[in-house]
Structure 1
C-alpha cells in the first residue's frame, strides 16, 4: 500500500493465466497506457468515497441488521418485475414508527432509508408509488462530500421519483423529526 496515494500499482503484472491468457494481447497495452493510470486525485477521491460509505453504514443501525428475520421484516426491493430498470437496485429499509404496528424502532434518527444503486452507464429516473409521500433527502454524508456526481441525485416526494446519475450509489434518508 502506498499511503502517499501517488500509486495504486496500476499496470503491475497481468491477471492469472488460466482463463485470462487469451485476453492478454488486449490487456497488456491498456495496462501500459498512461491514460488509464489513476492520478493521485483519483486515488484520493476513491479513498474519500469509500470512507463516506463507511460513515453512512455506521450512521444507522438499519444498515447493520443482525438477523435474517430483521432483514425480512424491514428490507424491500422496489425495482422488480417485468418493468424493472436493468443495472439498478432500489432498496428500502424501514424502521418502526407510527403507522407500522409491530415493528420495533431501532434507529433514533431515521425512520426510512432508500439506497439506489445505479450501475448503468446512463442517468436513471425511477418512480415508486409505494415511496410517494416519503420525506426523503440525500444522506448528510453525501450532501457534504466532495463527490459532485452524487449531489445530483434527487427525490421528488409528490411523485415518488428518484433521479440518480450513472454509476452512482445514492442514499436517501427520512429523518424522524420530519415525519413524527
Structure 2
C-alpha cells in the first residue's frame, strides 16, 4: 500500500527482501536479533528464528509457534519478492497518477468504489485515473465487481504482465460485468486498455 500511495512512499532497508521481525508486534523495537538484515538471502532473513520477545508478544506465542516450522523462506522467495516489489516501484514511477501534485488533483482522481457496505474484508479496490489497483490481503482469490466500469476495457498493467511475479499474471478483468479477479495475497494494477 505504501509503494502505491500518493506522496512519498516509505520503504525501509530490507522491505523488498521479506525482512522478518519474527512475528514481533512491536516493529519499532524488535531488537538486533530479529531486525538483522542479511543482503544475501542465505538465512531466510530471519524467518523462523524464534519466538518474539515476551514483553509485547507472549499472549500470541500459541499462534506464532506453528509458523516457526511451517513457514519456509529461502532465496527463491526472497529474490522473487524483491523482483515483484521492483515491478510495483516501476509502475509507481512511470504512472503520473501516483504522484499528483495537489490535494485537489488527488480528490479528483482517487476513489475507493467498493468502500463501506460493499467492501470485501481484507481487500482494497482503488481507482486512480485510468488505473484500478486491487490489494488482496486475503488467503483466497477475490472478485471485485465495480458496476460503474462495466463495458470499459481494462488489462493487467504491462509491467506486471511481463514482470517477475507469475501469480499476479493470473489476475483478470471481465469487461461485461466490470469484475477484477485477483489471486490471494496479491496486488494487481489494471490499466484502461489502450493506455
| Structure 1 and Structure 2 fold alike (TM over 0.5) | yes
Q: Which residue of 1 aligns with 2:80?
A: 45
TM-score of the pair, normalised by structure 2: 0.72
Given the alignment, which residue of 149, 154, 157 partners 2:175?
A: 157
Cα offsets for 1:23-43 (capped at 9, x unmatched): 346545643x3x423111111
Given the alignment, which residue of 8, 11, 34 partners 2:48?
A: 11
Matches within 5 A, 1:17-28: 17-24=54-61, 27=64
SS at match of 1:82: helix
Q: Which moved more, 1:12-21 or 1:115-124?
A: 12-21
Report the CA distance between 1:16 and its aligned residue: 3.6
1:90 touches 1:117 (CA, 8 Å); kept in 2? yes
TM-score of the pair, normalised by structure 1: 0.77
Q: Which consecutive unaligned segments of at least 5 residues does structure 1 have?
A: 95-111
In structure 2, how many angstroms separate the alpha carbons of the residues matched to 1:154 and 1:30?
31
Matches within 5 A, 1:67-106: 67-94=102-129
Larger Rg: 1
| Structure holding more strand per residue | 1
In structure 1, how many angstroms separate the alpha carbons of the residues matched to 2:136 and 2:63?
28
Q: Which residue of 1 aligns with 2:156?
A: 138
Is the alpha carbon distance of 1:27 and 1:118 closer, same or farther for their aligned partners in structure 2, counting shifts above 3 Å?
A: closer
| CA RMSD, 1 decimal | 2.1
Report the CA distance between 1:122 and its aligned residue: 1.5
Is the alpha carbon distance of 1:27 and 1:124 closer, same or farther for their aligned partners in structure 2, counting shifts above 3 Å?
A: closer
